[in-house]
A and B are shown apart, each in its own frame.
Chain A
Amino acid sequence: MEIEIDIQDIRKLVNTVKAKYAFDFGEYALSSFKRRLVRILDLYKFKDMNELINKVNFDKVFYENFLKEITVNTTEMFRDPSMWKKFRETVVPELAKLSSIRIWHSACSSGEEVYSMAILMKEAGLLEKTKFLASDINEDVIATARSGKYPLRNMPLHSDNYDKSGGTKKLTDYYKTNGDYAYMDLSLIHTTVFKKFDLVLGKQEQKFDVILCRNVLIYFNLPLQDKIIEMFSGTVDTGAFLVVGSKESIAWCKSATKYSTFSFEEKIYRKL
């Protein structure tokens, strides 16, 4: 059976990371954070939390790996196809009215979400006037996103999602296959800037017409979710869209009053 982790150990670790690396896990949701710690203890065969805390404190390279292991990066293209369908049918006509469009993928992971949006915008004839910012805290997944190289075994799921999302072509039209990998058509991301960005402590200066923040708020506690939704409201103008994950809700955030619900089912909100 696994090593017991108590709340004091977690606090000690969080404080160490904060003091040394200016990254704050203090408001991550406890149960999943703890699960990730158990996983790391197991992966690196640490005897106890103290050993892990010491290693994090004195070994920067290890800390970088730790950061990557602690975050959950699972993603899909066109994840929750019904959201993408809704976006295509109801948000795109609104965006089409703008002279230029700025979209922020605020936790892009390995980029599947970014290629999905680029494909959608291309099919809507809007790609050329759209600029994307794709950011994440984890530099490894950003590198994958940039490369557009994905395991071939994942493509059937992506294709299936694409078809259900109302795609007008075939997903295979957007990548080439070589060995065990799919290589995405990189012209899709020619207007995308990739960048490391921390949602917890980062300051965003730019403005956006669409922010996607999907399946990352689930790893945060409510006060932190609150802060991030508030932070977003400063980076958009009236009428901008905010899309969260299909099981996430901003309903219990204080700044929810700054948004109207554009699609309750698909968790699309609009800045008032």
Chain B
Amino acid sequence: MAEMMFWEAVRRAHDEEMARDPMVICMGEDIGVAGGTYKATKGLYDKYGPERVIDTPISENGFTGLAIGASFIGVRPIVEIMSVNFAWLAMDQLFNSAAKVHYMSGGQLRAPVVVRSPGGTAHQLGAQHSARMEKVFMGIAGLRVVTPSNPRQAYGLLKSAVRCDDPVFINEHELMYNLKGEVPDEEYFMPLEGSEIAREGRDVTLFGYNISVHWALQAADVLAKHGIEAEVVDLFALNPIDREGIRQSVSKTHRAVIVEEAEPPVGVGSEVMAIINEECFFELDAPPVRVSAKNVPIPYNHKLEKAAIPSPDDVVRAVLKMFGK
């Protein structure tokens, strides 16, 4: 096991898959000569050349569609969209073409394309650069959505996504590229479905994904001092989402808090609550709670920005309240 940064893990997965299969290409804005905004493709242009490491024009819907078309006949593209805020522009091709072509062709065509893109609220990037779009992507039938919370997952999910014949959207986070973590030295493939228990506990389950796993873990540390043993479940797959994993953990702890960076309507929180309702309602000792962002566009002012998104403290407060403390 070696420690590496999140961006290095993503880069390593690219490199290995490109070395293995000449049909694997990567494309996006400033990913080639410049090595990518977050260095996820650093050095690959020199290694694999401009036919396979492609600097694109600023034409998100166009180059995503081009990648999807290429994937129809055997190319395995990894598309980087510089920020999820720009992925709004590519949603037509992603949703109308990639997600549906297998189905509407009666199984004749596949779109094995990977689209990676970082989202989240970073440092005062303002309303048009702070979207959290997982909630949008996870609701589209035919599109897989995964979202790594650490370098190991980032590496293993991309490795599997490239090999998988479905279109996969990988939701990364702008603030997490320098996060360090252990990554196996040998090749490693993560399943594209399921969840991981990031911390075992018996009193309450904190569901998180991507950055909110870290908030949940921090909250769990604090809660332990209050005598509450929180279990943290990392929902690294959002579509399909791990119904069975959710059921098992709630059946054990009997309480659930969902921690999400996005606004509450129609999101991971509401989805997990619905699943709890459907799968294990009678296991509950208390109504589930979600800790979400405020339902607002993200403001520029730092103080307001911080107030707009949840913090580990908010999670602690929500849990203590649930326990009547």
B partners with A = no
Chain A: residues with CB nearer than 8 A to chain B? Answer: none
| Chain B positions near chain A (C-beta within 8 angstroms) | none
